[in-house]
Amino acid sequence: MLSDNQARAAAELIWECWHEGRTIDVLPENMRPANRNEGYAIQRHYERLSRRPIVGWKIAATSAAGQAHIGVDGPLAGRLLAERVHKSGSTIPFGHNKMAVAEPEFAFRLSRDLPPAENPYKQIEVMAAVGSLHTAIEIPNSRFNRFEEAGTAQLIADNACAHEFILGSEMPETWRYLDLAQHTVRATVEGKVTHDGVGANVLGDPCIALTWIANELSEHGIGLIAGQVITTGTCAVPLPIRQGDSVTVDYGSLGSLKVRLSS
């Protein structure tokens, strides 16, 4: 079992790599997590390193293809850091992004807490805690050279490949009466490529994904807090991106958002 000092040292190493734009092969053996619990213990220290309250949470690998791509056996949860969250229409740095993809997502904002619970939350309980639904784009990245070989525990320690996040406007309240699993999304890198997606690509339904993360975190003694945003994973095949690209995601009647990657 990793000590708190070992977990802190691992977090500081990944944090340093993140901010310097460099990567490592693996975490040193004396601070390498062996399981999900140790991965989340490392991840917890990013809140201290950020010095700002987290905006919320992300889910990585919410499809079989996504899990195969990064070499994990199930979804992963990561923290959304305030300094990495941007508004729709922003221009953000591309930087040293190894993954180089943009992912269209559904993001829920909570209006009430979902604290750690003795029994798993039911979907109806989780959805009752939702205050609003938002358009969103995630631009993930990893601090590992071969992220597809790092494994579940190290990728959780790597903040579930969190990097940059674009939070769009609140969707009309009509979303509550729609089947999000069947709602289509069109994501475009302007002048280059368009990918169509659907809510069902996210663990079968974005609402299922939200319930998953509430229970995943609860099992590790972590609660969701009112006001936090939870983005539920890509609902379309990720778009390849490079410096200078502009990405637009259209949710039809529910809105749209855009981000540009600086050259």
pLDDT string in tens for the chain (263-residue length)? 899 999 999 999 999 999 999 999 999 999 999 999 999 999 999 999 998 999 999 999 998 888 988 989 899 999 999 999 999 999 999 999 999 999 999 999 999 999 999 999 999 999 999 999 999 999 999 999 999 999 999 999 999 999 999 999 999 999 999 999 999 999 999 999 999 999 999 999 999 999 999 999 999 999 999 999 999 999 999 999 999 999 999 999 999 999 999 97
CA separation for the pair 119, 113 (Å, rounded): 16
What CATH number was assigned to the domain covering residues 54-262? Answer: 3.90.850.10
* In the chain, where the domains are located: 54-262
- Which is nearest to 165 in space by CA: 114, 213, 107? 107
Neighbouring C-beta atoms of residue 54, cutoff 10 Å: 17
What is the pTM assigned to this prediction? 0.97
Q: How far is residue 189 from each of residues 19, 48, 79, 177, 194, measured CA to CA in Å?
A: 26, 35, 26, 30, 6
Beta bridge partners of 167: 87, 136
